[in-house]
Structure 1
């Protein structure tokens, strides 16, 4: 007859069972996050975004913008701009009333932060337009978004005049430039920044009497003449004098370009998006969709925009591509990227807030909130492209989670089977 286990052995066995229960619950939670819808589509409200914004506002009040600025040159600006733009996206989904008024108030709060010394400090007032195309383009887009939340006969007159004046300054700068790509910093130009600025001029012509049709048409014509020869996409960086490509198209900038290009020229955008998806969306090790920083077959260095590049994949580009997929009607890819983010992003949910990566990088939360709320502001959501991913991409990850969840129970199961024998 076998002796009863010692107290130490019993404690160890119960501790192991507790670990097994915790691991099993976490694996089950991961499986749920992989299959429960995490986006609301272009019309619906994405689950959890309001709680993300409820986390971000106190974080911004506590200095998260300054912390983001220490990470990369536009950290303060981007964190506030994306916070405001996410509120605009939510407000557009609401009828006139209290909830839309809240969205407008928060968008204006973010605009005021962009219009402050900390918002402008990284940029040069000597550029054309002042502070450069990055600063002016994103600010103008957000200001136009705030105006779009107001009824036509009830718009704030000063806000509307500022939007018209800043749009005119951008239009003059584009018209006077030999290159379609204006400088964001002295001697440096990135096509993504000019794409956002041009979208803001199209938004102007939607909200106010049109002025920039010729400017937009010329920009599109000149941009098509200067595509990256390797990929056929708008390049990542260009010669500021000529606009000729200086660096291959990259995922971090393409994910934003594809978000805005649909509001400039839907047909050109559809062609560009197909090229981008074909060359940058991958499934490393067969475990879920992700976005490469460099086109498939090309390797390059990481930087502050891309973050680390495990297997060539950029987490920031993957998060922002969620929004690009959504504005193009590519629901399967948008849903897949959102579900993958729910698993890999380690979100912490409370009844009042939601944060990813334990809330350690609020700018990441801002990008995710902005991406999940994405939809075109000017054009209609285009007809969906041919499906590039099926529901079954989840099966390998679900299998891994099942193995992780069951693994800690295997020793106990083995002991029980040996007793029976």
Structure 2
């Protein structure tokens, strides 16, 4: 029994040491033009298998967009992979195939079931915005003479529907569900229109410019950021800005208006980024404001949302903010306990595939495809931010071995008494 207990202690100590090594994974800037993080393809293999086994339907039981998000993020990660390699690289064709597989499943009954065809545009700005962003991304990877005419026509129709809906609306924030509007969903829709503009020269500049003006008139007065929810009739904020939506907004604003986008990103960074026990994270509510977790944020730990933290990794990379992106990547490897089995990599034992989808989408965000890393951002954590985590692990190892400390045997004690 003592030998077995000692073996368990050895295994536990090795695991704790292995966990600490995750704080020193290769930095995120290994991904740049023509390069991708080395474990991304292994993550995508796991996700594809999980989705084929029904992970999307399982995630749908957790929140209404579970199926849709699981697939669209898988497809978007493939788009980023494809954009990071040369056109003649075999990985480009693999990326296109994987992304179209996901895009086609967005039209399935399971994907569209929570949404209403009576909305403007049909099924709402969430479905049309994210779907168009994915499909335009795939078409941008394909040579013009190889694009499927039916898919091109579908994308143009969706772009026209989005543009018309924004033009008709008196508010910049279209509905995703009847009577419910989230500004983040309209941000994605406008970003999709911008890419339609660039891809097909469809002339949506006026619609986009009007949207920016209306959105800037309806910022959350407390933070100066877009609100989490908005009145579907007026677009005025119904609550404050929140990390789970701001992290997505920050990822898409570079495609809409880089100047305003960077101002918004800096505001978000200053009011939501924090550290807990040395690890950087993103709060669900601004500093000085507390609230409860919900389906958008997930459970909160000391006010930090794991979902917002994961998505902010991609936003930080999109803005070239390595001073935030690198510790977020390190922390994600530490907390997520990513493991590779065969040629597949999963996090948290793969029990929440939509979380893996958000993470791989964030890890594939282009760090400096169009600009070098911006060193003007202040450091998020001090240089010694890993030390508290090392100290905690050392204490746990000490506790594991405490029962094995040397104590005098009974015959040693009797010998001393005779003397």
Using the size of structure 1 for normalisation, the TM-score is 0.92
For residues 372-383 of structure 1, the aligned pairs below 5 Å read 372-375=363-366, 380=371, 383=374
- 5+ residue gaps, structure 1, are 1-10
Q: Distance in 1 between matches of 2:367 and 2:187?
A: 14
Matched, 1:280 2:269: no
Matched residue SS, 2:279: coil
* Residues 207-233 of structure 1 deviation map (CA, whole Å, 9 limit, x = unaligned): 111411111111111111111011111
Name the structure 2 match of 1:22: 11
Q: Distance in 2 between matches of 1:200 and 1:379?
A: 18
Matched, 1:57 2:44: no
Name the structure 1 match of 2:417: none
Q: How far off is 1:35 after superposition?
A: 1.1
Give 2:361's match in structure 1, choosing from 366, 370, 375: 370
Give 1:392's match in structure 2, choosing from 375, 384, 387: 384
CA contact (8 A) 1:38 1:335 kept: yes
- 5+ residue gaps, structure 2, are 413-419
Name the structure 2 match of 1:6: none
Matched, 1:354 2:359: no
CA contact (8 A) 2:229 2:237 kept: yes
Name the structure 1 match of 2:114: 122
Q: Distance in 1 between matches of 2:367 and 2:242?
A: 22
Give 1:342's match in structure 2, choosing from 333, 343, 346: 333
Give 1:90's match in structure 2, choosing from 50, 62, 81: 81
* Residues 70-106 of structure 1 deviation map (CA, whole Å, 9 limit, x = unaligned): 1000001110101111111111112223211111111
Count of residue pairs the alignment pairs up? 406
* Residues 237-260 of structure 1 deviation map (CA, whole Å, 9 limit, x = unaligned): 000011001110011000100000
CA change 1:165–1:328 in 2 (3 A) is: same
CA contact (8 A) 2:32 2:369 kept: no
Name the structure 2 match of 1:35: 24
- CA-based RMSD of the aligned residues comes to 2.0
* Residues 339-390 of structure 1 deviation map (CA, whole Å, 9 limit, x = unaligned): 1111111222123101111111110100000010012899646734423324
Name the structure 1 match of 2:91: 99
Q: Distance in 2 between matches of 1:80 and 1:381?
A: 30
Name the structure 2 match of 1:160: 152
For residues 190-205 of structure 1, the aligned pairs below 5 Å read 190-205=182-197
Q: How far off is 1:289 after superposition?
A: 0.6
Give 2:302's match in structure 1, choosing from 311, 323, 340: 311
CA contact (8 A) 1:235 1:247 kept: yes
Q: Distance in 1 between matches of 2:210 and 2:10?
A: 63
Q: Distance in 2 between matches of 1:42 and 1:313?
A: 29
Name the structure 1 match of 2:324: 333
Q: Distance in 2 between matches of 1:161 and 1:23?
A: 57
Q: How far off is 1:415 after superposition?
A: 4.7
CA contact (8 A) 1:255 1:324 kept: yes
For residues 173-252 of structure 1, the aligned pairs below 5 Å read 173-252=165-244
Q: How far off is 1:50 after superposition?
A: 0.9
* Residues 291-315 of structure 1 deviation map (CA, whole Å, 9 limit, x = unaligned): 1111111111221111111211111
CA contact (8 A) 2:184 2:246 kept: yes
Give 1:139's match in structure 2, choosing from 125, 128, 131: 131
Q: Distance in 1 between matches of 2:378 and 2:16?
A: 29
Q: How far off is 1:206 after superposition?
A: 1.5
CA contact (8 A) 1:203 1:378 kept: no
Q: How far off is 1:187 after superposition?
A: 0.5
CA contact (8 A) 2:323 2:377 kept: no
Matched residue SS, 1:393: coil
Q: Distance in 1 between matches of 2:170 and 2:367?
A: 29
CA change 1:115–1:385 in 2 (3 A) is: farther
Matched residue SS, 2:220: coil
Q: How far off is 1:335 after superposition?
A: 1.3
